[in-house]
Structure 1
Amino acid sequence: MVRLRTNAPALRVKPMVSLWADNKRSSRSHRATGATGAFVVDICLHLGAHRTGSTGFQVMLNGQRPALRRAGLAYWGPERTRGGLLAGLVKNPHHLSTRDTQLGQRSCGRLRMEFTRLEHAGVQQLILSEENLIGTMAQNLEAVRLYGQLSGRLERVSPAFEGRGLRIGIAIRAYDLHWASQLAFRVKAGAALPSAADLDRLATQPRRWHDVIADIGDVFPMAQLVVWPFEGWVANPAPLVAALAGRPVALGPMAKPYKSNASAPAAALAKIAAERGDLDGALRLATARHGARYMPFDSEQIWKLQEDYRADIAWLKAGAGPRVTYLDPTEDTFCGADMTEGSHHDREERSVGSAR
């Protein structure tokens, strides 16, 4: 397997620098045309990840539809993607039936038809935002792997994008906070509190963000990848639109970013555990101060997970490959950041349709 990692010299990638300087697709006059003479719509694919500010980004995009239209951009978010558009494309690839495979193939064909419709409407680019294309939180935790099914999932949807310019965006997050946020959501949704053995497996599971990024690049060898840290951009998602589009995009007035359905704090999870009869788990959480974040990992595990994240950031800053752009807002923005992210869209394991 060809990996994205190169021997590029250490170089700090400045945020928003050269994202579109040489991008011929930034001008309609340079865009390719299809057999009918219509311009071929380019795809800007936002893959999340879960619990990395994706909902705030989607809410912002939804509120910016008029400005996006003026810039030649269309936007499809969960309101569109979770209404059957991706039927057969979000299920666990290890549990596919013949019907699932056929349904996924039809969905790819339907996507291509919808892209053609956008072309005839004069749309230059489509921003498609859907986290579940790379997996679900339930699968991450059950398999104890960070999007371990990503390659198999994206390979199934990749035919829909053939022949089009493709830019892919993904946010990453510090592992201790990312796993804790996923666990908090799953506990609130009905799962049991993790055991010490569960936490040890999560802290030592081998997949890293650099594996996720490399796998995306392997599935889409012609795509440009844009990567940003949750901690540095969750409060200011507007520049991410231009990063995804690969060109300047004039947006309208912005509402203040907000957090909806944020991760449940430790006290709330203690109450849930007590109501379910898990008194030992409730007791472990009951000593947390009011409003304290749920953090199940011990100090050694936190240190190890943060070191793993620092290694990923260093890899991105040093040059993760010629097709990867890293949006680097500040130094060490993830250290001690007190950010949570939640979403009414986090019902995806129920609403997308047989994703597990």
Structure 2
Amino acid sequence: MTRYVLHLGAHRTGSTSLQTVLDGLSQEIAPAKVLTPPRPDKRSTATIREVLGDAVRAHRSRNPLTRWTGLRRSRTDLAALTGGADRVILSEEMLLGPAFKRDGRGLYPEADARLRAARALLRDSPERLHLTIRSYASFIVSVYAMRAVFAGNLPPFDQIAQRLCDPEAGWPDLIDVIQRVFPGTPLHIAVLEDTRLEDRVRDLLGDWARIEEIRDPGGVNAAPTTEAIRAALSMSRGAYDPDCLVADHAGGTRFDPLETADKERLSQRYQNDLDRLRRRGDLVWVSRP
């Protein structure tokens, strides 16, 4: 039986840098296998994101036969990606789905359905789960910026700012969802502001491999500028190359649309939620050595 460790993201918490490091270590941690999603240097490569997407669609079907055949096909595709490895590190932000709805509501509103599809795909619970969280204010702004450029089909920020700045759920709610789907599975939590990339990579690897040096690739998947976002919102999806658009406007203005009052309110909510989470005894906290 394949043993999995799942890194769930979240979005804009250094996941791409972590995945870049993991892919670079693939030979050093062999025979364990690393599965990561597409990024600018591997857009045309078959990745775990496609398999997970197919599994989600199959799992949502109301037709039992469609659901069974779809999951069976997804499991075959997953086996091809793992190559028969008995240990697999799977890092994919879309295991949780989109961070919010198109109108700005929710915090990972599809997480429950997508995680249940992932569990059906894997057949059993993974060995460990990992999640990195960050301040709500910076998270909301950064996720909006990336989604506006790479996914498109979003209203301007100010039209949905009220919902984005008053999320219906927070990190404790998402963690509750994860634990309901994977009861009893150790859940490791990293706070982006308090941990280094090296800390998160080593915690994810656990005792699978002893890597002497882990270097932060730096500058990976930088947030789009205000000018890049404005250009993306003025065009229809598919009418431009997102990577090129981000690069063309890289020297623009930092996207910072929140009012001071919103930042302070979100910062206080984040601190309150962190305090709540740290009082719980069912989480493993990633920290600097």
Take 1:84 and 1:268, find their aligned partners in 2: how far apart are those partners?
A: 27
Residue number in structure 2 paired with 1:144: 105
CA contact (8 A) 1:174 1:306 kept: yes
Deviation at 1:68, TM superposition (A): 0.9
**Structure 1 pair 84–112 and aligned structure 2 pair: CA distance change class (3 A):** closer
1:242 aligns with 2:208: no
1:201 aligns with 2:163: yes
CA contact (8 A) 1:108 1:159 kept: no
Residue number in structure 2 paired with 1:154: 115
SS of alignment partner, residue 86 of structure 1: helix
Take 1:100 and 1:296, find their aligned partners in 2: how far apart are those partners?
A: 44
Which among 55, 66, 72 is matched to residue 106 of structure 1?
72
Amino acid at match of 1:181: S
Take 2:277 and 2:15, find their aligned partners in 1: how far apart are those partners?
A: 20
**Structure 1 pair 88–250 and aligned structure 2 pair: CA distance change class (3 A):** same
Take 1:102 and 1:176, find their aligned partners in 2: how far apart are those partners?
A: 41
**Structure 1 pair 109–312 and aligned structure 2 pair: CA distance change class (3 A):** same
Cα deviation code 1:56-100 (max 9, x no counterpart): 00000000112111xx52211115534743342245987x56486
Take 1:230 and 1:107, find their aligned partners in 2: how far apart are those partners?
A: 36
**Structure 1 pair 205–92 and aligned structure 2 pair: CA distance change class (3 A):** farther
CA contact (8 A) 2:55 2:121 kept: no
1:44 aligns with 2:5: yes
Mark the structure with the bigger radius of gyration.
1
SS of alignment partner, residue 113 of structure 2: helix
Amino acid at match of 1:247: D
Cα deviation code 1:148-186 (max 9, x no counterpart): 111111112212334565201111111111111122123
- 1:1-356 aligned at under 5 Å gives the runs 40-69=1-30, 72-78=31-37, 79-82=45-48, 84-91=50-57, 96=61, 98=63, 101-102=67-68, 104-107=70-73, 109-110=75-76, 113=79, 118=84, 123=86, 125-137=87-99, 139-142=100-103, 144-163=105-124, 165-189=126-150, 190=152, 191-196=154-159, 198-233=160-195, 236-247=196-207, 249-251=209-211, 253-270=213-230, 292-319=253-280, 321-322=281-282, 324-329=283-288
What stretches of structure 1 of length at least 5 have no aligned partner? 1-39, 277-289, 331-356
Indicate the RMSD between aligned Cα atoms, in angstroms: 3.2
Cα deviation code 1:255-308 (max 9, x no counterpart): 4421234112234445666889xxxxxxxxxxxxx8553122211111111111
Take 1:231 and 1:200, find their aligned partners in 2: how far apart are those partners?
A: 25
Instruction: Give the length in aligned residue pairs.
Output: 265
Take 1:308 and 1:188, find their aligned partners in 2: how far apart are those partners?
A: 28
Percent identity reads 25
State TM-score, norm by structure 2.
Answer: 0.78
